[in-house]
């Protein structure tokens, strides 16, 4: 049988997971990443049981989680450092907080091991439903399948007119990594994430390797002082006086991203499939954007194996995966609503969200899901 060819746009979680999964199943795969190297934001990332299963299936698990702490609880605190809620992950359901670059490197290594080619400095600008991919230099490539994993501003998605809704949310975050102090290195317990709230601002403190802490500062998009980079330490110290020492450890690093939500009319057009943030961007309130991207990438390859013809495979893939992805988007947006509420209401909301069995089931449904192909 003729070897099928896939051209994949984007060397992020979606593109690299798709490359590994398709190459594993005998496809001739090429990834186009526009950046000069496979580099991601200097930040950490939570990968839950569902994403970890996908990494295992792709042969990327051991390298991805090496040295990363297994998270066990999330402590939510108010502006006076009083506990609002303590959420413990269900025993048996793994969650790792990891340096992002380590996961990207692990996925890229797995994709290459399975035979995929990864090109950097290769920008794609458009695709056609019959499987033609146009590169920025004018080159045209023909493939059996084009995968658009090119993130929230996806040119491939937009060249096919697939966008149904793109909504900027009222909040965003600055992400960065800082070195652990000798005391933090010696503390042993890297499994607790602490989320501090002060008004509409949040500080998320997460150990994510033997030597680094992941910090995410979340704020309203209109809060110019809070979203400035390098961070405005005087301002942040006024909001969180008990975290002054922490802000003093931050240098020039940090990148601001606004949260957004995206929905497509369809996840595919002819021979082009759209994946990850390009198809279903969501705010990070339950840490599942990359998890969904990787699940849907593996599932795409599995469905292409199961069905003889491409249109049936793409239709079955979307039918199978879209409901859980949309549930994940809805819950993530819902849990971000209190950002704009007055503090007493927000406090009540988080108490309720931490205690309500129904709410906990909703927010952990994606993590508890057994992904297709695992």
Selected from 69, 151, 190, 338, the binder of ligand FAD by CB under 6 A is: 151
The pair of structure tokens assigned to 230 is: 């390098």
Query: Which window, 29-37, 75-83, 139-147, 313-321, contacts ligand FAD (CB under 6 A)?
Result: 29-37
State which residue, 153 or 312, has the beta carbon closest to ligand FAD: 153
Distances (CA, A) of 264 to 12, 22, 133, 162, 166: 20, 23, 20, 5, 9
Residue 321 touching ligand FAD (CB under 6 A) = no
Burial of 158 (0-12, 13-18, 19+ CB in 10 A): middle
Selected from 6, 68, 216, 243, the binder of ligand FAD by CB under 6 A is: 216
Q: How far is the CB of 142 from ligand FAD (least distance, A)?
A: 17
What is the rounded CA–CA span in Å between residue 155 and residue 147?
12
State which residue, 90 or 306, has the beta carbon closest to ligand FAD: 90
Residue 11 touching ligand FAD (CB under 6 A) = yes
Q: How far is the CB of 149 from ligand FAD (least distance, A)?
A: 5
Burial of 349 (0-12, 13-18, 19+ CB in 10 A): middle
Selected from 49, 150, 171, 195, the binder of ligand FAD by CB under 6 A is: 150
What is the rounded CA–CA span in Å between residue 196 and residue 208?
18
Number of residues that bind ligand FAD (CB under 6 A): 33
The pair of structure tokens assigned to 215 is: 């910090």
Residue 14 touching ligand FAD (CB under 6 A) = yes
Q: How far is the CB of 37 from ligand FAD (least distance, A)?
A: 10
Residue 371 touching ligand FAD (CB under 6 A) = no
Selected from 124, 264, 272, 300, the binder of ligand FAD by CB under 6 A is: 124
Residue 207 touching ligand FAD (CB under 6 A) = no
In three-state secondary structure terms, 11 is coil
* DSSP 8-state secondary structure symbol assigned to residue 89: P
Selected from 257, 320, 326, 349, the binder of ligand FAD by CB under 6 A is: 257
State which residue, 206 or 372, has the beta carbon closest to ligand FAD: 206
What is the rounded CA–CA span in Å between residue 151 and residue 166?
13
Q: Which of residues 42-101 bind ligand FAD (CB under 6 A)?
A: 45-46
Q: How far is the CB of 344 from ligand FAD (least distance, A)?
A: 26
State which residue, 24 or 218, has the beta carbon closest to ligand FAD: 218
Query: Which window, 82-90, 246-254, 289-297, 353-361, contacts ligand FAD (CB under 6 A)?
Result: 289-297
- Core vs surface per residue 319-338: b (16+ CB within 10 A) or e: eebbebbeebbebbbbbbeb
Question: With helix as H, strand as E and coil as C, how does 291-313 read?
Answer: HHHHHHHHHHHHHHHHCCCHHHH
**Contact assessment for residue 12 and residue 281, using Cβ atoms and an 8 Å cutoff:** no
Q: How far is the CB of 32 from ligand FAD (least distance, A)?
A: 5
Residue 123 touching ligand FAD (CB under 6 A) = yes
Q: Where are the beta strands (DSSP E) in the chain?
A: 5-9, 28-32, 44-48, 73-77, 83-88, 95-99, 117-119, 124-127, 132-135, 140-142, 145-148, 163-179, 192-198, 201-207, 212-220, 255-264, 268-269, 272-274
Selected from 131, 207, 254, 289, the binder of ligand FAD by CB under 6 A is: 289
What is the rounded CA–CA span in Å between residue 279 and residue 107?
20
State which residue, 284 or 373, has the beta carbon closest to ligand FAD: 284
Residue 260 touching ligand FAD (CB under 6 A) = no
**Where on the chain is the footprint of ligand FAD (CB under 6 A)?**
9-15, 32-35, 45-46, 123-124, 149-151, 155, 173, 175, 216, 257, 276-278, 284, 287-291, 293
């Amino acid at each position: 049988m003729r070897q099928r060819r896939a051209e994949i746009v984007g060397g992020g979680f979606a593109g690299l997971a798709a490359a590994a999964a398709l190459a594993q199943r005998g496809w001739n795969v090429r990834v186009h990443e526009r950046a000069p190297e496979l580099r991601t934001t200097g930040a950490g990332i939570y990968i839950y049981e569902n994403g970890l299963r996908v990494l295992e299936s792709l042969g990327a698990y051991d390298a991805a989680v090496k040295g990363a702490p297994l998270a066990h609880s999330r402590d939510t605190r108010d502006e006076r450092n009083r506990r609002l809620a303590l959420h413990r992950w269900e025993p048996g359901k793994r969650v790792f907080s990891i340096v992002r670059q380590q996961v990207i490197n692990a996925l890229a290594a797995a994709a290459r091991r399975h035979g995929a080619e990864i090109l950097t400095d290769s920008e794609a600008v458009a695709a056609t439903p019959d499987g033609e991919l146009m590169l920025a230099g004018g080159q045209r490539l023909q493939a059996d399948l084009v995968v658009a994993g090119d993130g929230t501003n996806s040119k491939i998605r937009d060249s096919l007119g697939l966008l149904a809704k793109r909504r900027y949310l009222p909040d965003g975050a600055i992400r960065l990594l800082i070195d652990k102090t000798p005391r933090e290195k010696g503390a042993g317990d890297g499994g607790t994430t602490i989320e501090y709230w002060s008004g509409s601002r949040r500080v998320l403190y997460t150990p994510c390797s033997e030597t680094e802490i992941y910090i995410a500062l979340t704020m309203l998009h209109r809060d110019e002082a809070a979203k400035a980079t390098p961070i405005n330490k005087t301002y942040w110290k006024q909001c969180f006086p008990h975290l002054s020492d922490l802000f003093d450890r931050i240098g020039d690093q940090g990148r601001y991203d606004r949260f957004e939500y995206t929905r497509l009319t369809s996840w595919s057009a002819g021979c082009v499939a759209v994946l990850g943030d390009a198809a279903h961007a969501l705010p990070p309130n339950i840490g599942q954007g990359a998890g969904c991207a990787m699940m849907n990438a593996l599932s795409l390859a599995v469905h292409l194996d199961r069905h003889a013809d491409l249109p049936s495979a793409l239709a079955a893939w979307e039918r199978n995966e879209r409901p859980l992805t949309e549930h994940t988007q809805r819950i993530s947006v819902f849990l971000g609503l209190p950002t704009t509420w007055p503090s007493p209401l927000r406090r009540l909301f988080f108490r309720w969200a931490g205690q309500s069995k129904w709410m906990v089931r909703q927010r952990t449904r994606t993590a508890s899901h057994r992904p297709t192909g695992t």
